[in-house]
Amino acid sequence: MNDFVERRIALRWHAPRRAYDVLIIGGGGHGLATAYYLADRHGITNVAVIEAGYIGSGNSGRNTTIIRANYGIPEAVRFYQHSLELYQTLEEELDCRFMHETKGIMWLAHTETQMRAEGARSLLNLACGAETVMITPLEAKELCPQLDLSGGGRYPVLGASYHPAAATARHDRVVWGYAQGAMRHGVHVAQHTMVTGLQRHGTRVTGVETTSGPISAGVVLSAAGGRVSTIAAHAGVRLPIRTHPLQAFVTNSYDFPFPGIVSDTELLCYVSQTERGQMLVGAEFDAQPSYSQRSSFSFLQSCAAKVTRLLPFMRDLRILRQWTGICDISADFSPIMGQTGVDGFLVTTGWGTWGFKAIPAGGEQMAQLIATGRTPALLEPFRLDRFASDHTMADPGSTGTH
Ligand SMILES: Cc1cc2nc3c(=O)[nH]c(=O)nc-3n(C[C@H](O)[C@H](O)[C@H](O)COP(=O)(O)OP(=O)(O)OC[C@H]3O[C@@H](n4cnc5c(N)ncnc54)[C@H](O)[C@@H]3O)c2cc1C
């Protein structure tokens, strides 16, 4: 933890008690946000978040920080738009500066087919309340003067969909902000405590086994990121989730402003600039399912080749750091939130490569479900039983990484 955390954020760790009303497995953004909203909106404070490592050590502290709502199905657009709007006032609400900045994102298209797909996306987004418009190559160049409109002579830019409300925020501070907010209401957060099993009584989950001993709970929520399949298996629940690594890297500082976010629908890579001026690059997830968090040279090689076609200035930069997270990718590329069919055991999962933007809405809505016992309208389409009833929410083209 750094100076910001030690001086400006009031974080207090707890040794877990033996029983809670609600126990949340995983101190990532979704687990901590759910704990915060349970306490803040519903007065449920007898809550513990149990984290195997340190908070934010999963994907919530490894992502490329992009917040947007330009999805491809109405249910997803509405959900992510709500989250994007919650983010806009979250710094004040949590009393934590996490460098939220609205930047706009463009999704470049290189073929007529992609132009049609992006045109349809723009119309759907507008109809569902998330502003997205089509722009010409020259308008794209105005927004991002560094862009090579010929795509290195091989990927000419025919146009782009542009979503002006897209933003970035510093990911680990979002996690710390939610942790602080939850702790202020009396929520317990235990770090370096791993959940190793679930306690069951008949058909009901009644608590967890941890490396610090058993803890009973009225409700257990898994917010365990890429490790969800193992946790759910303890309850006898088989999820339509595969875990895939996702890699990213940053360069050294670029001396000029790069105000927007550039994403490419064909090359499957995206670029933004951090507060420190570094160029932050993300791409598609590794094809092979795995729990490995190793970064690879082949990823760097292929991703660098792609981004330098679009943004030739990046050839003069150096790669400073690369890292990997393990992502819970659902079969239809949409999240899975809510009841599992096993009493007392809920999940928030399927956040894959796209769940950072969803932290405020995901936490708020899961808290409402736990507090009231009723599935809120925004969550309804993302229930686990959609797979059994053939109502999947297929939206792979909106992940930006597939
Ligand atoms: C490289 C990369 C780039 C990304 N870019 C973006 C982006 O630009 N925009 C976007 O919206 N999303 C992005 N994502 C996805 C996003 O980061 C995740 O979807 C989101 O952070 C998931 O949050 P979470 O709380 O569900 O999981 P996590 O943050 O992974 O938290 C899960 C926590 O559970 C803990 N845990 C696991 N097992 C146990 C156990 N047995 N006991 C106790 N604790 C346990 C883990 O240690 C971890 O801290 C990206 C992901 C990666 C890897």
d(CA 108, CA 114): 9
d(CA 215, CA 65): 34
Which protein residue's CA is at the shortest distance from atom 51 of ligand 1? 63
d(CA 128, CA 86): 17
Q: Could you identify the atom of ligand 1 that is nearest to the CA of residue 31?
A: 25
To test the pocket of ligand 1, the residue of 353, 365, 395 to mutate (highest count of ligand atoms within 8 Å of its CB) is 353
The per-residue DSSP string of 262-303 comes to EEETTTTEEEEE-TTSEEEEEEPPPSS--------HHHHHHH
Residue of 188, 245, 134 whose CA lies nearest to 12: 188
Q: Which domains does the chain have, with CATH numbers?
A: 3-63+171-241+331-398 (3.50.50.60), 103-166+243-330 (3.30.9.10)
- The residues near 47 (Cβ < 8 Å, ≥ 6 apart) are 20, 21, 22, 23, 24, 35, 38, 39, 182, 187, 188
346 Cα to the center of ligand 1, angstroms: 17
Q: Is 216 helix (H, G, I), strand (E, B) or coil?
A: strand
d(CA 59, CA 57): 7
CA of residue 207 relative to chain centroid, distance: 27
Query: Using one digit for the tens of pLDDT, what is the confidence trace for 305-351?
Result: 999 999 999 999 999 999 999 999 999 999 999 999 999 999 999 99
Alpha-carbon dihedral 164, 166, 170, 176, rounded to 10 degrees: 130
Which protein residue's CA is at the shortest distance from atom 4 of ligand 1? 63
Cβ atoms 71, 398 nearer than 8 A: yes
Q: Is 15 helix (H, G, I), strand (E, B) or coil?
A: coil
**Backbone φ and ψ of 75, nearest 5°:** -60, -40
To test the pocket of ligand 1, the residue of 193, 243, 295, 356 to mutate (highest count of ligand atoms within 8 Å of its CB) is 356
329 Cα to the center of ligand 1, angstroms: 11
59 Cα to the center of ligand 1, angstroms: 3
Q: Could you identify the atom of ligand 1 that is nearest to the CA of residue 210?
A: 42
d(CA 117, CA 112): 9
Which protein residue's CA is at the shortest distance from atom 53 of ligand 1? 325
DSSP state of 333: S
Q: Could you identify the atom of ligand 1 that is nearest to the CA of residue 231?
A: 41
Q: Could you identify the atom of ligand 1 that is nearest to the CA of residue 30?
A: 25
Using 50 as the pLDDT threshold, list the residues of the chain that sit under it. Answer: none
Query: Using one digit for the tens of pLDDT, what is the confidence trace for 148-176?
Result: 999 999 999 999 999 999 999 999 999 99
DSSP state of 315: G
Q: What is the pLDDT of residue 398?
A: 87
Q: What is the pLDDT of residue 7?
A: 67
Q: Measure Cα distances from 256 to 1, 46, 99, 217 in Å.
A: 30, 49, 19, 52
380-386: long-range pairs with CB below 8 Å, 24+: 381/75, 381/334, 382/75, 382/79, 382/334, 382/335, 382/336, 382/337, 382/338, 382/350, 383/336, 383/337, 383/338, 383/339, 384/239, 384/336, 384/338, 384/339, 384/340, 384/341, 384/347, 385/339, 385/341
Q: What is the pLDDT of residue 401?
A: 66
Q: CB under 6 Å to ligand 1: residues?
A: 25-31, 50-53, 57-60, 62-66, 194-195, 223-225, 227, 231, 246, 248, 282, 325, 327, 351-357
Q: Measure Cα distances from 326 to 48, 55, 228, 255, 270 in Å.
A: 24, 16, 11, 32, 19
Q: Could you identify the atom of ligand 1 that is nearest to the CA of residue 323?
A: 1
